Amino acid sequence: MKQTRREFVSTLTMAGAAIPLISHLPAEEDKKSGQNYPVRLFSKPLDSYEFDFMCECLVRSGIDGFDITVRQGGKAEPTHVESVLPRLAEETEKYGLKLDMMVTGILSASDPFTEKVLKTASGLGIKYYRLGWYDYDLKAGIRKSIQKCRNELREIAVLNQKYKISAGYQNHSGTRIGGPVWDINELLSGISPGYVGCQYDVRHATVEGANTWNLGMRLISDRINSLAIKDFTWKQINGKPEAVTVPLGEGIVDWDKYFGTIKELRIEGPVTLHVEYPLLENGEEGLPLIKQQDIIVRKLKKDMDFLNGYIDKYKLR
């Protein structure tokens, strides 16, 4: 009897439950190369520009590569990934940059585009990717929601092993799974971070736990396989407090405590720099492209210099 892909993956997962517990190659390769914290730019804020413009921005700002969006509305759509992503990778290489991380909306191994995206990305040397986010089914309950999503991640882990690629589930403030970091510990239980781990975001962790984020980070430290970097401050908007992303060092994230904890717990992995504050102010969108690029590069470089300063301060390289 012919098996569907889901049945095949489920059979592998049940029969070889230990498979997703094996350590994974990408992280080991990074350690051997001495680049335990390579920095990439989450491409979203630049995705509306031509790709050569994006590459020039990175070269000028000292950022070595992209964490490229490969999702609906991203720089590469899943429907066209086989033709678009190789072109982007070729262009990236021409500029001496790396394209080894991506951001996806992947939530299921059985989605018709999941294997196509992973196969294409892996073939181009992409080692890490971010997953989408799961919602709680409040009728089913918190624990059953997590259990259902963990089963989905086990199947994704099998595909990741096949294509030698690692996934990260980002903790993101709000009411979805992964808002409170503590639920990620249960979500990823029994799955190797080499195949599916956590992309730890200190900005969102601080929003949800101003005084307890460090405890959550310690709880899941052995599951963290990549690091998302951004800063924020609280502002009152329409009478309600709102977390607003700002340039690194201009917000309230405790960077000394954060990097000190990374060093103490020996957390290693690639870094994705998220620049989610306005790169251009009102009126600057109409400037010539070269002037827009000057403004963007200045802001990117400021964040990159800040980040490098802390990496050097805590001797993480």
Q: What is the pLDDT of residue 28?
A: 54
Q: What is the pLDDT of residue 317?
A: 83
Q: What CATH code would you report for 37-313?
A: 3.20.20.150
Give the distance, in angstroms, between the CA of residue 110 and the centroid of all CA atoms in the same chain.
21
Give the pairing type, strands 231-237 and 240-246. Answer: antiparallel
170 forms beta bridges with 199
Q: What is the pLDDT of residue 29?
A: 54
Q: What is the pLDDT of residue 21?
A: 43
Domain ranges of the chain: 37-313
Give the distance, in angstroms, between the CA of residue 148 and the centroid of all CA atoms in the same chain.
22
Helix or strand run (H / E) with residue 228: strand 224-229
Quick check: 95 and 56 in contact, CB under 8 A? yes
Query: Within a 10 A sphere around the Cβ of 71, how many other Cβ atoms?
Result: 22
Query: Cα–Cα distance between 261 and 42 in angstroms, integer?
Result: 23
Q: What is the pLDDT of residue 16?
A: 43
- The residue behind tokens 């977390």 is 243
Query: Cα–Cα distance between 272 and 230 in angstroms, integer?
Result: 9
Q: Please write the tens of the pLDDT for every residue from 272-315.
A: 999 999 999 989 999 999 999 999 999 999 999 999 999 999 99
Please identify every stretch of the chain with a pLDDT value under 70, giving residue numbers as ranges.
Answer: 1-34
